[in-house]
Structure formats: C-alpha cells, structure tokens
Structure 1
Amino acid sequence: MHDTPLHTAASVNHIEMVKLLLKHGANVDAEDNSDSPLHLAIHAGHGKLARLLMEAGADVQARNHAGNPPVQVAAFAGLPEVIKLLVEAGSPVNLQDQVGDTPLHDAALQGQVEAAQALIAAGADVHATNNAGKTPPGPCPAKRPRERGRSAPGSRWLAQQGGLLDAGDQAGPHARAR
C-alpha cells in the first residue's frame, strides 16, 4: 500500500497522473516505507517517469529502507539510461548501502553488464569493497546461493575493466595477487 497518490501513480507508470499531482503540489520526495516516488518508478523500470520526477526536483541521493539511493536501484534493475540521467542530475556512483555494496556491486551481482558499463563510464570504483571486504561481483555466492560455485553473469567483463573476479576478502583464498 502506498502512502500517497504520487507513489501509486509512480509505481504503475501513470505519467499523466504524476504530472497532475506535481502540478497541484504533491511532494516529489514523499516517503513510503522510505521509498520515494523516484525509487518506485526506477524499481518498476519506468525510465520516462523517472526523468519526469528528476525534472520536478526529486532528490537523486535519497535513501530507501535498505540504504539504496536511486542509482543503486537503477543498477540492480539494469537501467543504464536512467543511471546516466541520475549521474547528470548529480548522483554519485560510489554511494554504499547498509552492507557497503555500491551500485556496481548490484549491477555485477545481477549480471547487468550495460548498467555496469554506465557506472564505470561515470567513474564507479571497480575496486570498491563492501562491509565484507568484497569487490564486485564478490557478493554473488552469499546473496544468490543458486549461483554458488560460478561467477556472476558479466563478471568476466568486469574483470577486464580492472575489477577483481570473485575476489573474496582481501586476505582470503580468493584474493587476486596485486
């Protein structure tokens, strides 16, 4: 259940309703379980609506309940064009969520190569470590047990960009020699 009509309209991609609500003073950054309308639009893959919300002044650094900024939601969803829009609007690409994952961690985890490319082109740190000391796509086995024992999709490409392939922690058995 969404707290405001704007949340509902954003989650179902009702662009005309969003325009009407914004015209009549709806709070573009209202929270619903700490998700903003921008978070919901991106999560649902509504890139045009995300652009509209950003043009209306949506906070591109707002955090949701998991500590994810909109750019991290876009990375997870595999929306490279939305990532570019967010970066142009001032979103940093190396923000970390509650477990220290960056948008690049999530893009690599989900096999979103185009999203990872957009993040790296915008300056994402391929060597960023999360709270467990893992670099992208290191979190894959812990978060996706069905993929245990194999690299995350897109990890070969990420390794070619200078990232660590299944690096594990910096001192552990999977750490790549530097």
Structure 2
Amino acid sequence: MERSYELTRAAKDGDVTTVARLLGAGVVVDALGEDARTALDLAAQENHADVVRVLLGAGADTAAHAGPYHDLTPLTCAAMYGSTDAVAVLLDAGVSMAAQDRIPYTPLVVAAGDNHAETVALLLDRGADIEDRAMKGRTALEWAACLGRVEAVLLLLDRGAEATDTALRCAERHAGRGEEERGRYGRIGAALRAALGHDAA
C-alpha cells in the first residue's frame, strides 16, 4: 500500500526517475494513492508530460475516473487545469476527445470553461469538434460565454465557432452583476453581437 502511495506522490511531483523505478519494481500502474487518485490522473493534472508518457507506456488506464471529484478522465482533468503538454501526450497516445461513458465532459469544454486558451487551441488543432454539444446540450463557446471566459470566447470565435443567441443571452444576463462582470461579459457580448451581425447597441 505504501509503495502505491509513493508512486502517486512521485507522479504528482514530476519525479520520472522514481516513477520508472517503482513501476520496474512491480508497483501496479493504476494503484490508488492517498486521495484515491491514480498516478496518471495526478501527473496529467500537474502537466508532467514525461511522467504521463512513462505511465502510458506501462499501460495506465486512460479511461479511469480522475480529478479531485473523480468525475473526469485523465485527459479532461489535464484540460481543466490547462496542462497542455500532458494533453498533447495523451492525444499522441490515441486517447479520444469524445465524452466517455458516465463522464459527459469533453476536454474542449472544460478547457474553454476554465479559460485555458492554449489548451483550447491545441485541442482544436488536433481535431476537436468545436460545435460538440455532449455536455448538457451546450457548445464550448456557450459554456465559455456563460462563465465569462473572455480569451476562450475570442479564440473560439476566431477559430470558427458558431455564435449563438444562447451564448449572447447568457453573457448579457451576467453583465449586470457587478463592475468586474460588466467588463468581462461586456467584451464577450460585444464579440458575440459582432459575430451574429447585431448592432453594437
């Protein structure tokens, strides 16, 4: 048990040498650590691409539940934290960007929802469906607009995401909640109105 904890700690810390040594000594690659998370889950979150690569080579489960609340996969966890290098390694290994069974989140939606523009760009470059509605019937743009993620909204629009009245209504609804919100959601609303061909007023 203690050695499995050592593996997950080393993975979280980015200690690729210790990870490789423990795997070579027979520690199970998908063993759970102290917080019931796997080494791959933690390495993906912390953007330790070299550790992710070693764990994948040892057969780590890329579809296992991951994240602080165990409601993600290693890929969606990496995307949520903006761990772009880890996302790239997982994609290189053939991990699907589609929603998984019982886990409806997609990496594009969570990256956009947390305003990680670099990760969003990578996912789009790798073929993510910009109009996918797997998560509660909303696109990544609509989620980003509702959450006030300016950089993600602008990037998605620039990359061809369809501006929708749903996204605009959500941004306008939040714009009146305070000065900070007015600034963020005002920029989003202006960008969406321009994309929709509405008057700026």
Q: What is the TM-score when the length of structure 2 is the normalising length?
A: 0.70
Structure 2 SS opposite 1:91 = coil
User: Please, what TM-score do these two structures have when normalized by structure 1?
Assistant: 0.77
User: 1:124: how far off?
Assistant: 1.0
- Pair 1:56–1:86, CA change in 2 (3 A): same
Out of 44, 51, 61, which is 2:46 matched to?
Answer: 44
* Alpha-carbon distance in structure 2 between the residues aligned to 1:91 and 1:55: 13
The 5-angstrom pairing of residues 24-103 of structure 1 reads 24-32=25-33, 33-64=35-66, 65-96=69-100, 100-103=104-107
Q: CA RMSD in A?
A: 3.0
Equivalent residue for 1:132, pick from 133, 136, 152: 136
Distance 1:97 1:80 in 2: 23
Could you tell me which runs of 5 or more consecutive residues in structure 2 were left unpaired when the two chains were aligned.
171-191, 197-201
Structure 1, unaligned runs of 5 or more:
145-149
Match of 1:147 in 2: none
Q: Which has the higher contact order (CA 8 A, sep 6+)?
A: 1
Q: Hey, what's the Cα distance between the residues in 2 that align with 1:154 and 1:9?
A: 32
Q: Distance in 2 between matches of 1:124 and 1:96?
A: 14
Percent identical among aligned pairs is 26
In the alignment, the residues of structure 2 paired with residue 5 and residue 134 of structure 1 have an alpha-carbon distance, to the nearest angstrom, of: 40
Alpha-carbon separation, structure 1, partners of 2:38 and 2:164: 33
Cα distance, 1:80–1:165 mapped onto 2, change above 3 Å:
farther
Structure 1 pair 76–102 and aligned structure 2 pair: CA distance change class (3 A): same
* Secondary structure, counterpart of 1:116 in structure 2: helix
**Alpha-carbon separation, structure 2, partners of 1:58 and 1:117:** 26
CA-to-partner distance for each residue in 1:140-175, whole Å, 9 max, x for gaps? 476x5xxxxx44422111122222447638xx9569
Cα distance in structure 2, aligned partners of 1:132 and 1:62? 21
Q: Which has the larger Rg?
A: 2
Higher helix share: 2
Inter-partner Cα distance in structure 2 for 1:30 and 1:168: 43
